[in-house]
Structures are given as C-alpha cells and as structure tokens.
Amino acid sequence: MANIKVPYLDLKAQYQRIKPEIDAAIARVLDSCQFVLGTEVAGFEQEFAAYCGTAECIALNSGTSALHLALLAAGVGPGDEVITVPFTFVASVAAVVYAGARPVLVDIDPRSFTMDPAAIEALITSRTKAILPVHLYGQPADMDPIMEVARRRHLVVIEDAAQAHGAKYKGRPVGSIGDIACFSFYPGKNLGAYGEGGAVTTSNAEFGRTIRMLRDWGQDRKYHHVLRGFNYRMEAFQGAILRVKLRHLERWTEARRAIVGKYNQLLAGSGVELPTEMPWARHVYHVYTLRTHDRDALHAALQMEGIQTGIHYPVPVHLQPAYADLGYARLTLPESEKAADEVLSLPLYPEMTDDQIERVSEALTGLAATR
Ligand SMILES: *Cc1c(COP(=O)(O)O)cnc(C)c1O
C-alpha cells in the first residue's frame, strides 16, 4: 500500500462521475447564448434558497463579493466596526476593510475553531454594526449566544458560510440563522463551481433587494442607478453547473462524514488530536483538521510519502503583514495563534477510496509513533 499516492483533493474524480450531466448543462448555456445571470442562475437561486431554508438567494461572482455586499446592505461603512475572527481565510476580514469599516477581532474557541461567543460583548462599542462569525472547516459557530448578544445590542449578524454548505446548527441549516449569510462556490469548496462563484442567502426582503441591485451596478431598472453598485453578477455557466452539483451535495456530504468516521477510528490513539464535532453541529467537513505539536515536520514527512496535506491557516489574519495596521500584537489572540501553529488538514473528498483513507492513516500513525 505504501506506493499509493493521495492528493489533498481530486476534482477530476468528481467530474468523471457526473460528466454527462455537467456537459449537458454547459451545452444548454451555449445553446441559450444567455451568459450572465438569466434563467440558469435564477433557477439555481431558487434551488439554493430552498436548500438553505431562506426566502432568497442572490447569486454572485465570488464569496468575497458576497461578504462585501452583505456588509454594505447591513449599512456597514467608514467609522463602523465589525466583530469577526482572525483564524479564518483572509477574505472574512478583507471584506470588512472593503466596506471601509474596522475589523475588531475576537479569539476562537480551541475545540470548535469558531468564534468564542463569551468574548464578544466586551468588544462591542457605539460603533459596532455587525458580528461576522465564520463556520470554519464546515462546522457552524455557536450561533445561539451570538444571536442573543446581537439582538440585545441591535447588531446585524452575517454568517460566513463559505466552507459550510449544508451544515446545520441545532438542526437548522447555516445560511438561515443570521440576518444574512455568505457562501463561496470556489471549485474546492463543498459545493464548487467550475470557476469563481458565490451567493448571499437572506430572508430579509430589504437586504435581498439591496444586494440584488448592488451586484448589478446599483440599478433598479436598466440604466437607472440608485446605488453605487458593482459588477458582481454570476455567470450562467456557473449557475447551470451548480444546479447539477447541488443535486449531489447531500450524498457528497454523507460521503465526507463517512470518511471522517473512518479517519477517527483509524487515528484513535495515534497521538494527534482529532477534530471535534460540537454537540450543536452537523459538521460538513470541508476540511478534516488535526492538531499536533510538530505540525511542520509531519506535513513535510507526509509529503515525502506521497500524501498531500494542507494547513488552514498557517498565519492568523492579525499577524499578516497586510493587516499589521489593525494593531494586534503577537499573543493578543492566543487561541488563534496556537491553532495556526498546530493545525494540519488531511486529504478529504467524497470520492476517496478506503485504500487511500487507510494509507493516510497508516502513514500518519507510523510517523506520529517515531516522534
Ligand atoms: C473561500 C472563502 C471565502 C471567499 O470566497 P471566494 O469565493 O474565494 O471569494 C470567504 N471566507 C471563507 C471562510 C472562505 O473559506
């Protein structure tokens, strides 16, 4: 088995299994010559809103655009503050800066890797407009206490659900819990387009209307610009492809969860700390992340054995050079910093074979034992 190579992700394996459906969807768009928005995108919006249990979905050209427009619709602008986490993909924090506001960073809970709700209230000021929790790795943040403090202090809650399509919090789908939620359909995400893509979900009609206008130049009708908008429209190819893939998403999520069950069993007692599915969560395992003290050595040794792993993320946003001016020194957000030093993501995609899962587990167990 030692000669089995395991990539971190295998998009080709997925495409091969759904090729006829995808190719037909692409041909449909070509025949229609309707390349931007149009019926395929509108169809996807309806189907994804139904999947998330929201009144509306507005399809966009990326998850970053979704965060940007969600913040603008929430009224966030210069002089405002938005509370979010530093242990995330950079876009969560960058979007706050796009909106002209100041990101105020709150540490994570070390078990869930998501926003620590107990630390929020002390950070709220008269300038705070919104709270932006991230459902990192596919696990929902602890939303009840976040919603409670937001309601009491009149703040908007924007979920960053870019990694969490289909995840549930106490039985409710992410995307339907906060006031607005943002999804990414970047190809490697659990629901991935074949190019860039994103969406907002909301059941607030006013937010929905604003975001729909902002994505298409702020028009309320053609060439009447009531808002200063953007070109953030979704392409028809991506809408058509996402409609096909959405029909497979539950099955893929169950496959991910089954693989995680096997990893958990095979890696128990290996000495690395396994991920925790919190009691409130249906975790959709966008990534399967371990903690280990000599992460960099393990990452390199697995690479030598033909096993690709990932690090999500090696540097928290407050320690990135681009965000040094936010003014957070090292040791100010200790759980995020510790996680950044310890996390290692194993290969995980729905088409993984038992041989591959066993190969990864065996190599990891062997390496962990020799440390
Ligand atoms: C991928 C991602 C984004 C950004 O989505 P894009 O589609 O790449 O712009 C935002 N937040 C998180 C947590 C992500 O993982």
- Per-residue pLDDT tens digits of the chain, which is 371 residues long: 667 899 999 999 999 999 999 999 999 999 999 999 999 999 999 999 999 999 999 999 999 999 999 999 999 999 999 999 999 999 999 999 999 999 999 999 999 999 999 999 999 999 999 999 999 999 999 999 999 999 999 999 999 999 999 999 999 999 999 999 999 999 999 999 999 999 999 999 999 999 999 999 999 999 999 999 999 999 999 999 999 999 999 999 999 999 999 999 999 989 999 999 999 999 999 999 999 999 999 999 999 999 999 999 999 999 999 999 999 999 999 999 999 999 999 999 999 999 999 999 999 999 988 87
d(CA 72, CA 129): 11
> Quick one: pLDDT at residue 2?
66
Q: CATH 3.90.1150.10 in the chain, residues?
A: 249-369
Q: How far is the CA of 155 from the centre of ligand 1 (A)?
A: 23
d(CA 193, CA 185): 5
Q: How far is the CA of 355 from the centre of ligand 1 (A)?
A: 31
Nearest 5 degrees, angle CA 322-CA 324-CA 330?
A: 130
Alpha helices per DSSP H over the chain: 11-32, 38-52, 63-73, 91-98, 143-152, 205-214, 236-246, 249-267, 295-304, 334-342, 354-369
> Quick one: pLDDT at residue 15?
98
Q: Give, using CA atoms, the residue closest to atom 6 of ligand 1.
A: 63
Q: Which residues line ligand 1 (CB under 6 A)?
A: 62-64, 88-89, 91-92, 134, 160, 162-163, 184, 186, 198
User: What's 12-106+114-246's CATH class?
Assistant: alpha beta
Q: Which of 300, 237, 331 is nearest to 23 (CA)?
A: 237
CATH architecture of 249-369: Alpha-Beta Complex (3.90)
Please give the structure tokens belonging to residue 56: 């509306």
d(CA 360, CA 298): 12
Q: CATH 3.40.640.10 in the chain, residues?
A: 12-106+114-246
Q: Give, using CA atoms, the residue closest to atom 5 of ligand 1.
A: 63
Is pTM, for the whole model, over 0.95?
Answer: yes
Q: How far is the CA of 162 from the centre of ligand 1 (A)?
A: 5
Q: How far is the CA of 183 from the centre of ligand 1 (A)?
A: 7
> Quick one: pLDDT at residue 371?
73
Q: Give, using CA atoms, the residue closest to atom 2 of ligand 1.
A: 162
